[in-house]
Structure 1
Amino acid sequence: MTKYLISFPGEAMVIPEEDFESVVEASHAVIEEAKAAGVYVYGGGINEGVDPVLVAGDGSVTEGTYPGHKVPNGGYTILELPSRESALEWAAKIAVACRCSQEVREFQYDPAS
Structure 2
Amino acid sequence: MTRYLISFDDGAMTFPEEDLPAVAEASHKVVREAQSAGVWVFGGGLERQQASVVLTDGTVTKGPYPETKAVLGGFSIIDVPSYEEALEWAAKIAAACRCAQEVREIMPDSEV
Task: Say if 1:46 and 1:72, in contact at 8 Å, map to a contact too.
Answer: no
Distance 2:30 2:22 in 1: 12
TM-score of the pair, normalised by structure 1: 0.85
Question: The residue matched to 1:4 in structure 2 has which SS?
Answer: strand
In the alignment, which residue of structure 2 is the partner of 1:95? 94
In the alignment, which residue of structure 2 is the partner of 1:67? none
In the alignment, which residue of structure 2 is the partner of 1:48? 48
Deviation at 1:71, TM superposition (A): 4.3
In the alignment, which residue of structure 2 is the partner of 1:59? 58
Equivalent residue pairs, number: 108
TM-score of the pair, normalised by structure 2: 0.85
Question: The residue matched to 2:25 in structure 1 has which SS?
Answer: helix
Question: The residue matched to 1:54 in structure 2 has which SS?
Answer: strand
Q: What's the C-alpha RMSD, in Å, of the aligned pairs?
A: 1.9
Percent identity over paired residues? 56
Letter in 1 for 2:91: A
Q: Which runs of 4+ in 1 moved over 3 A?
A: 56-60
In the TM superposition, 1:3-82 aligns within 5 A as 3-48=3-48, 50=50, 52-63=51-62, 70-82=69-81
Gaps of 5+ in 2: 64-68
- Are residues 17 and 57 of structure 1, via their aligned partners in 2, closer, same or farther at CA, if it must alter by over 3 Å? closer
Gaps of 5+ in 1: 65-69
Deviation per residue, 1:22-78 (Å, 9 max, x gap): 00000000001001111011101221252x3333455332346xxxxx442211000
Task: Say if 1:2 and 1:83, in contact at 8 Å, map to a contact too.
Answer: yes
Letter in 1 for 2:101: Q
- Are residues 109 and 49 of structure 1, via their aligned partners in 2, closer, same or farther at CA, if it must alter by over 3 Å? closer
